[in-house]
Amino acid sequence: MNLLAIVGSPRKGMATDKLIDKAIEGFRSKSPECKVRKIHLMDHEIGFCRNCLACRESKADGPYVKCTIRDDMDWISEELTKADRLIFGTPVHEGYCTGIMTTFLERVTWTFAKPTGRALTLIGCPVPRATGKGKKAVIIVVSGIVPPYYRKFCDDATSHIKIALTCSLNAKPVGDMYAGAVESRGVERYFGKAHKLGRKLI
């Protein structure tokens, strides 16, 4: 099994990174033979989507189509395709995903999806280009100040990531966690939850 972890924090070794490591540990405890790769988005060149829509209009086969921008999304897209299990982690910035994660998700949207879906009265909604058995995914959102009991005011990130997982990446979210107010509460109190979340990926 291939596990791919995507780190949306600009900071290495801090709260989001630590919780992702715990989730990886949890997954490994159930699947010791798994292959794990962790990608810190901050370390790579990922340009802004330019809305050229070449990907959305592309009729090419396959789980994704190439973006017109040549950068690190070329190989990251390959890694996303190879993975059977995904962990997405982001700190809360302004109640939302970080800009780094948002840039990445925008690039994923239509490269991994085609506009053949319908929802309510809308046509042209994204559906994954990949067919067949989907991946499983978990989401970790970390806030510095806002505690879990105010999560609904500070967590638009989880729903945003869920849409990318289900509508583009052919992945089923099987769990998520919100590690709130880590600045005052400390991140360590969330380690157990993150470990358990990783085990859900089996």
Ligand X SMILES: Cc1cc2nc3c(=O)[nH]c(=O)nc-3n(C[C@H](O)[C@H](O)[C@H](O)COP(=O)(O)O)c2cc1C
| Number of H-type helices and E-type strands within the chain | 8, 7
Q: How far apart are CA 91 and CA 25, in angstroms?
A: 20
Kindly state the smallest distance separating residue 71's Cβ from ligand X, in Å: 23
Q: Confirm if 92 and 142 have CB atoms less than 8 A apart.
A: yes
Residue 176 bridge partners (DSSP): 139
- What are the residues whose beta carbons fall under 8 Å from the beta carbon of 161, sequence distance 6 or more? 88, 90, 97, 101, 105, 139, 173
The reply to whether 102 sits near ligand X by the rule CB under 6 A is no
The reply to whether 143 sits near ligand X by the rule CB under 6 A is yes
Among 24, 182, 194, 201, binds ligand X (CB under 6 A): 182
- Residue span 9-48 as binding mask against ligand X, x where in contact by CB under 6 A, dash where not: x-x--xxxx-------------------------------
Sheet containing 135-142: order of strands: 35-40, 2-7, 85-91, 135-142, 171-179
- The angle formed by the CA atoms of residues 143, 8 and 96, to the nearest 5 degrees, is 45
- Residue span 107-126 as binding mask against ligand X, x where in contact by CB under 6 A, dash where not: --------------------
* DSSP type of residue 96: B
Kindly state the smallest distance separating residue 151's Cβ from ligand X, in Å: 10
Among 32, 94, 120, 152, binds ligand X (CB under 6 A): 94
The reply to whether 103 sits near ligand X by the rule CB under 6 A is no
The reply to whether 145 sits near ligand X by the rule CB under 6 A is yes
Residues from 150 through 179 that contact ligand X (CB under 6 A): 154
For ligand X, which residue has the nearest CB?
Answer: 144
Residues contributing to the site for ligand X (CB under 6 A)? 9, 11, 14-17, 91-95, 142-146, 154, 182
